[in-house]
Structure 1
């Protein structure tokens, strides 16, 4: 075993100015911060003034366009007339929008429910066109109005009301109301689970059923543990692989059950694999910075990997926010002449945030000021607050459809490893999260050359490494067109993969998984960079898992196989202690 220096770098403590003697009076600003923290309990962490300002912007422009606004009265009459023709059978039914599963059950196509569906679709068309109509609105406010209107329409949809939903009516008749009793029991169980530790599913135990790839914790510091996985092949790639996961959730999204664990698969492919397991921060870590995650996380891990494996360069792979941080670290290393990396793999990771999808709706100066007050009171953003924002992006699927399924029909999906991982949330340190949202998401400092590491800016163009970047087709968190923008920021040889699935399932896409496909294309060094839609049209899909293509790519960037390196001195068995923190 090889001893790795245990770099116990302290996270800076929350700094509070020394209080002068005598009684202290709470300032008006402090009271406002407390008010905002209280408001966040009812708004899901969203600033009420952001929505109000968007509505005022829309109303002002609608009032200043009276003739266009009045035209919607005529449009409403036309919709009623069209509904009457549909009811009389003289006009065809409107098709359901793509991906809308609210009315997919055959019972909705029967009378009188089919007329309800048509009224809903016509009403939603009218409302959405109304909020998008006035010219001159701020684009951000227009998006917020459209989003909030969609949320309201989803909420009041008749599919959510048991006496309007034919599926619920039929189930209630068939079971004598037992479905509602079981649904209420499901609701109570979910409420109890939300109050207790998230990772308590007996079917998916940490270190046994999930996060179970054998290995040892070989480094622990104030922010992360580094896990080295036990080799399973007589020879391994000369260059080890370091995985940098996001700290928004636990690392074992990449080490789920043995059948779909990317880490186990990499080890089986003859790779020496290390993975960072981030600490779940509490209020004492409120002043942890984004650069702490780079220095105490990635850079400390790279030093430990090379202490164990010798001078071999490292294949670094980052997922989601971990990929963004890895790109920052790689740019800083290139700037400073640090040549530890052999290649760079970015999985659903954004480096340019100008087209970051619907999450941009929640990233305005006003919203961030409000969120800063909320996190200032707590010292962190809780998993529930963060998860609520992600759920609202797909409220139809993740909120209302699930509520109908679990609480009105009284069903419960069989648990799976991805659901267990998704329930095992983490907190985010207040200062780091605000630096990320303001510097990267709002101001796009990394893509535009303003992001600083140390006292100097870094440039993604400085990275001179082979790059493998993966986007997923249905990603609501890191939209693939946003991930694709790396083509415009770096001219190294870049292999881009667009895989089926979403932000999680598209990455956890093990060989043998049914109905998986991907598109892959190399942009050579200094080669032509097509637009994303052009790239997609010109790149044929391939059946199967992109993991196999990545394995071949890693092999092409690697030297001849060698004997596995010795294991580092073990502090604990994998998955370690930090992954168990709640």
Structure 2
């Protein structure tokens, strides 16, 4: 007999409720609520549209098309540009055919970050002509979708992004008939690259329909190769496990250090393989290190709120640490969303006179979301309402839905380049510990993620003094303890100029670091890692403010890892050296159970 799936029963009950409830349903005043039938229909539609709001897309393109139709001068410029591009491409093609010299000057050079046509094989005819024609088309469409008078900035960004995704899909590098690199590989391997690519695609498809989604699990396994710093789970509740790491020095600093990772991914970006582990580095420097490991929420956790993450997460961890170590104060460091939550907690504690945090460190974390970078493409009222319907149906935001949004932001690197190498060239990329972590995403509870998107991204309540905890507003300017902030140069999740805004939102000493790398790799920057550099300066609370670009232009560059600078800064705020606290022998060993949840 077939077993009954509980989720099927739940879906049936919701469907029945959706059809029956509207007969007497009264719409609430809250903007976050809607009729169940509306939510159900939008959730079903989301399965067809890849969770993109059709209304948001329609509004953006309608705004662009209407204003383009009202701009005859813009249309004339585009027509002239189309003719010029066609003529340039024709001359380039003619010169390439009429001479044996294939090194003709380009019509247009690819952008520095565009690696699709770097191979020398693209310099031969007809592939050089094909690639140049594509780049000219790409440039023309960028001009067509930008600079149209009257179009809102957000709609312009959405249209430009969408058109770029469509063009990237049609790029000649994606097809064997127009990609000379694929053709050369096929000749050299007698077509085995296609066979291996088929096997790779089949294996990825198998993993996508099973729980085995991490193809590098045999190389890097949590608890065996990564997240292996020894320690104990000294506290747990419904939302977190708190890990205390085993000391490796004879004495430790008096003030413990708490790491608050983002709950969108597993915590072990801060404890990767031993050579890349920030946890191991700080333990070796004599710190008593604690780590929050977040639960991977399920459908029954749908009503967990931002307040639950504050209270059951960070506040519960602070209570446990001070009780276990008898320390009156702790230092705390947050990464990404964890840093945003840490800022909320620090401001709440300052408001309430709770002085148990001695310093705050924020790694690639935003507190002002007015300019959140490319993620703003997915943030407006229409899109959030549509996403809320999807989360209402599931109880959470799925890991694949989050991963898809991040991959689109860097589609050339994370989608098309990967498919080219693995499915057309038959090459499996060698995984690193950071890449394995990047594939180990977690779910986001319906209520918490809705509150996060609305209060922070959409309305910027934290920066503007409207964010509420315990029924009262909080203000970042109330934080009087020293703050250490890290921005990463090529961050597309938390742009460093947005992170830099902590200077004008706080009224305390701020030490700011701008490091090479992106949102993840810039944070994982152990000493000895090649090609790492950073800029650092400290801004006292009474000094005149400086804009981000001026700061970048006038601050000295330093070679090496920012970890060293942070540890030196933190050492001065961590008290005298004392014997390390005892480790409880009867507690479960790190990394605990929550990090293992699929």
1:286 equivalenced with 2:299 (yes/no): no
For the residues of structure 1 that align with 2:545 and 2:128, how far apart are their CA atoms? 48
Per-residue CA deviation, residues 322-368 of structure 1 (Å, 9 max, x unaligned), is 00000000000000000001100000000000111010010000001
Alignment of 1:288-307 (within 5 A): 288-307=304-323
Alignment of 1:399-410 (within 5 A): 399-410=415-426
For the residues of structure 2 that align with 1:557 and 1:487, how far apart are their CA atoms? 20
Q: Is the 8 A contact 2:256 2:327 kept in 1?
A: no
Q: Secondary structure at the match of 1:163?
A: helix
Deviates more, 1:367-376 or 1:25-34: 25-34
Q: Is the 8 A contact 1:347 1:470 kept in 2?
A: yes
Q: Is the 8 A contact 1:218 1:569 kept in 2?
A: no
- Aligned match of 1:459: 475
For the residues of structure 1 that align with 2:493 and 2:38, how far apart are their CA atoms? 31
Gaps of 5+ in 2: 1-9, 24-34, 97-103
- Aligned match of 2:153: 139
For the residues of structure 1 that align with 2:165 and 2:133, how far apart are their CA atoms? 18
1:519 equivalenced with 2:519 (yes/no): no
Alignment of 1:77-116 (within 5 A): 77-89=83-95, 92-93=105-106, 94-116=108-130
Q: Indicate how the Cα distance of structure 1 residues 445 and 569 shifts in structure 2: closer, same or farther if over 3 A, else same.
A: farther
For the residues of structure 2 that align with 1:41 and 1:384, how far apart are their CA atoms? 12
1:532 equivalenced with 2:548 (yes/no): yes
Alignment of 1:235-384 (within 5 A): 235-384=251-400
Deviates more, 1:333-342 or 1:56-65: 56-65
Q: Secondary structure at the match of 2:334?
A: strand
For the residues of structure 1 that align with 2:307 and 2:530, how far apart are their CA atoms? 40
For the residues of structure 1 that align with 2:586 and 2:307, how far apart are their CA atoms? 27
Q: Is the 8 A contact 2:18 2:36 kept in 1?
A: no
For the residues of structure 2 that align with 1:169 and 1:535, how far apart are their CA atoms? 49
Offset, 1:276: 0.3
For the residues of structure 2 that align with 1:23 and 1:38, how far apart are their CA atoms? 12
Offset, 1:308: 1.2
Q: Secondary structure at the match of 1:225?
A: strand
Gaps of 5+ in 1: 1-14
For the residues of structure 2 that align with 1:67 and 1:549, how far apart are their CA atoms? 54
Offset, 1:84: 2.1
Q: Is the 8 A contact 2:333 2:339 kept in 1?
A: yes
Q: Is the 8 A contact 1:509 1:547 kept in 2?
A: yes
Deviates more, 1:496-505 or 1:183-192: 183-192
Offset, 1:22: 12
- Aligned match of 1:5: none
Alignment of 1:401-550 (within 5 A): 401-550=417-566
- Aligned match of 2:170: 156
- Aligned match of 2:20: 25
Offset, 1:184: 1.3
Equivalent position to 2:81, from 75, 80, 83 = 75
Offset, 1:96: 1.6
Q: Indicate how the Cα distance of structure 1 residues 410 and 339 shifts in structure 2: closer, same or farther if over 3 A, else same.
A: same
Q: Is the 8 A contact 2:145 2:159 kept in 1?
A: yes
Give the TM-score, by structure 1 length. 0.94
1:53 equivalenced with 2:59 (yes/no): yes
Q: What CA RMSD, in Å, does the superposition of the two structures yield over aligned residues?
A: 2.0
For the residues of structure 2 that align with 1:185 and 1:528, how far apart are their CA atoms? 61
Q: Is the 8 A contact 2:19 2:37 kept in 1?
A: no
Q: Is the 8 A contact 1:227 1:575 kept in 2?
A: yes
- Aligned match of 2:247: 231
Deviates more, 1:203-212 or 1:253-262: 203-212
Q: Is the 8 A contact 2:18 2:40 kept in 1?
A: no
Deviates more, 1:186-195 or 1:379-388: 186-195
For the residues of structure 2 that align with 1:555 and 1:23, how far apart are their CA atoms? 58
For the residues of structure 2 that align with 1:407 and 1:26, how far apart are their CA atoms? 49
For the residues of structure 2 that align with 1:318 and 1:30, how far apart are their CA atoms? 37
Offset, 1:136: 0.5
Deviates more, 1:87-96 or 1:328-337: 87-96
- Aligned match of 1:118: 132
Per-residue CA deviation, residues 224-263 of structure 1 (Å, 9 max, x unaligned), is 0000000000010111000000000000011110111110
- Aligned match of 2:99: none
- Aligned match of 1:557: 573
Equivalent position to 2:180, from 142, 148, 166 = 166
Offset, 1:35: 3.1
Per-residue CA deviation, residues 134-193 of structure 1 (Å, 9 max, x unaligned), is 200121111111111111111111111111001101111111111011111111212222
1:34 equivalenced with 2:40 (yes/no): yes
Offset, 1:524: 1.5
Offset, 1:23: 12
